[in-house]
Amino acid sequence: MSIRYLSENEKYKLYSLHEIVYLKHKSHSNTLSDYEAADEYITRVYGDPDSGILSFDGTYIVVAGCGITVYFIETKECIELLNDPDDITWTEGVYQSAEDASHFVRFNALTDTDKLVINRLNINTREIELVS
């Protein structure tokens, strides 16, 4: 079993086991045998997640890979973008920029012509804009 740690803050640890992403509440047990049973399932990412973040304000999670997944920690609402089987966008390197408000994240993606671009996602509106 290969655990990949994606992000961490004082309350949570975001990690994946192959294609499945989990959220560990640090107040719970930290033994390996407790992982899947005690931790919160976030999403499944085809081809394994590339990266993931816990937002600066600790209210949501974003996972990159096959599309983008946004998970709101308090409501447990999960939104999946850019992963329609007929139109998949492979994403990587999700991050928050100090230049942006807390409801924005940025990520890299390949265009149809294999050009790497930076996109910015507004978590509130789900709008994606090209940064470069």
Q: What is the dihedral of CA 43, 46, 49, 52, to 10 degrees?
A: -40
Q: Domain containing 18 — which CATH number? A: 2.130.10.10
What's the structural domain count of the chain? Answer: 1
| CA pair distance 78, 80, nearest whole angstrom | 7
Residue numbers of the domain that contains 22: 3-130
Where on the phi/psi map is residue 59: left (φ > 0), alpha (ψ -120 to 50), or beta? alpha
pTM recorded for the entire structure: 0.89
Q: pLDDT digit of tens for each residue in the chain (132 aa)? A: 689 999 999 999 999 999 999 999 988 755 555 555 579 999 999 999 999 999 999 999 999 999 999 999 999 999 999 999 898 999 999 999 999 999 999 999 988 888 899 999 999 999 999 997
- Residue ranges of E strands in 9-82: 12-17, 20-25, 40-44, 51-54, 60-65, 67-72, 78-81
Contacts of 60 (CB under 8 A, 6+ apart): 70, 71, 72, 73, 123
